[in-house]
A = this chain, B = another copy of it.
């Protein structure tokens, strides 16, 4: 709290050496006699010395370069639209340091594009990397290269266990599913039915959605058998016609569905379907504050959206990389951000900031 008043100079005086020598033991730059080293180390500890960071930064003036590799946001997948603002916020806060951000995006339908962009980043030789590991094998490969070059990397949104990542920041999918389960339970009468919808193409994504769905189901397991009450609808293509057909079939097969849990971020597709079919009494619970979702939340067509703070994910990723690179602070390995319950009444607070 009280910034250290002892300076290198004071340590040097106490030890009867020059500040150059103190600096050498401080940074373990060698070339110091064992005895002097011991003496200085002791005094360093006794005085609880901590360097003045402003002076360090002023002197060294090295520029830190952080690269990010995230999916290109699109209409098809607007979830990634807000991630850049978190990075910008972090950079702004750190503007007294020399820090550069090199943002790269890849086409999330295209493994090759990921590989190519990863290659670009490797060529740049940044000090640290943040990535969303959407494609497993390609990501593993990239991480291996980074490790080889001694470049630390942080995962955002998902993580791969077999790699040597510095940190992961994201959602606890299982628990977000449990939260959704609780909300679904709250709005669904015991004699009514619940449907779980899963729309997914790529495998990583499916894993994440499955975790959510397992969490969702786990909430009901405790109370009573869910088998008869909960049905699952899997759709492999988000094209509206295909979605419509799949839902038509499901609603025909399971009469009495009064709540739909959309495990991914495309609730607006379901909302649009329900509106079209006049299914006004069906509750809809989904994820992420995409513009189209928020519009349906406001109109009442979507009851709850669960937020996972995309800006905060990238904000924290940049901060953790920076703190590690500058001050050697080792972050917690995994940080799960709060699971926000968002309704039409509190959504505004989660949009601007």
Which residues of chain B come closer than 8 Å to A182, judged between CB atoms?
343-345
Chain B residue nearest to A178 in the complex (CB): B345
List residues 312-353 of chain A with CB under 8 A from any CB of chain B: 336-346, 349-350, 353
List residues 1-22 of chain A with CB under 8 A from any CB of chain B: 1-3
Judge whether A52 is part of the interface by a CB distance below 8 angstroms. yes
Which residues of chain B come closer than 8 Å to A242, judged between CB atoms?
none
User: Are B179 and A345 closer than 8 Å at their CB atoms?
Assistant: yes
Which residues of chain B come closer than 8 Å to A101, judged between CB atoms?
1
Judge whether A91 is part of the interface by a CB distance below 8 angstroms. yes
Judge whether A54 is part of the interface by a CB distance below 8 angstroms. yes
User: Are B343 and A343 closer than 8 Å at their CB atoms?
Assistant: no
Residue of A54, A101, A175, A343 contacting most chain B CB atoms (<10 Å): A54
User: Are B349 and A339 closer than 8 Å at their CB atoms?
Assistant: yes
Nearest CB in chain B: distance from A219 CB, A:
7
Number of copies: 2
Chain B residue nearest to A176 in the complex (CB): B346
Judge whether A45 is part of the interface by a CB distance below 8 angstroms. no
Chain B residue nearest to A58 in the complex (CB): B54
User: Are B341 and A346 closer than 8 Å at their CB atoms?
Assistant: yes
User: 1/0 per position for A224-260, CB-CB distance to B under 8 A?
Assistant: 0000000000000000000000000000000000000
Nearest CB in chain B: distance from A337 CB, A:
7
Judge whether A53 is part of the interface by a CB distance below 8 angstroms. yes
Partner among B1, B92, B341 whose Cβ is within 8 Å of the Cβ of A341: B341
How long is the Cα–Cα vector from A91 to B2 in the complex, in angstroms? 10
Partner among B52, B181, B338, B345 whose Cβ is within 8 Å of the Cβ of A219: B345
Which residues of chain B come closer than 8 Å to A341, judged between CB atoms?
340-343, 346
How long is the Cα–Cα vector from A344 to B339 in the complex, in angstroms? 12
List residues 132-187 of chain A with CB under 8 A from any CB of chain B: 175, 178-179, 181-183, 186-187
User: Are A346 and B179 closer than 8 Å at their CB atoms?
Assistant: yes
How long is the Cα–Cα vector from A341 to B339 in the complex, in angstroms? 10
Judge whether A95 is part of the interface by a CB distance below 8 angstroms. yes
Judge whether A55 is part of the interface by a CB distance below 8 angstroms. yes
User: Are B95 and A3 closer than 8 Å at their CB atoms?
Assistant: yes
List residues 46-75 of chain A with CB under 8 A from any CB of chain B: 52-55, 57-58
Known contacts A186-B186, A349-B337; decide if A96 and B54 are in contact (CB<8 Å).
yes
Judge whether A207 is part of the interface by a CB distance below 8 angstroms. no
User: Are A179 and B343 closer than 8 Å at their CB atoms?
Assistant: yes
Partner among B58, B338, B339 whose Cβ is within 8 Å of the Cβ of A52: B58
Partner among B2, B57, B100, B342 whose Cβ is within 8 Å of the Cβ of A100: B2
How long is the Cα–Cα vector from A91 to B3 in the complex, in angstroms? 10
User: Are B346 and A338 closer than 8 Å at their CB atoms?
Assistant: yes
List residues 92-139 of chain A with CB under 8 A from any CB of chain B: 92, 95-101
Which residues of chain B come closer than 8 Å to A343, judged between CB atoms?
179, 182-183, 341
Which residues of chain B come closer than 8 Å to A337, judged between CB atoms?
349
Residue of A182, A337, A345, A349 contacting most chain B CB atoms (<10 Å): A345
Chain B residue nearest to A172 in the complex (CB): B349
How long is the Cα–Cα vector from A345 to B184 in the complex, in angstroms? 13
The 7 closest A-B pairs by CB, nearest first: A338-B349, A53-B96, A341-B341, A54-B54, A54-B58, A179-B345, A339-B346
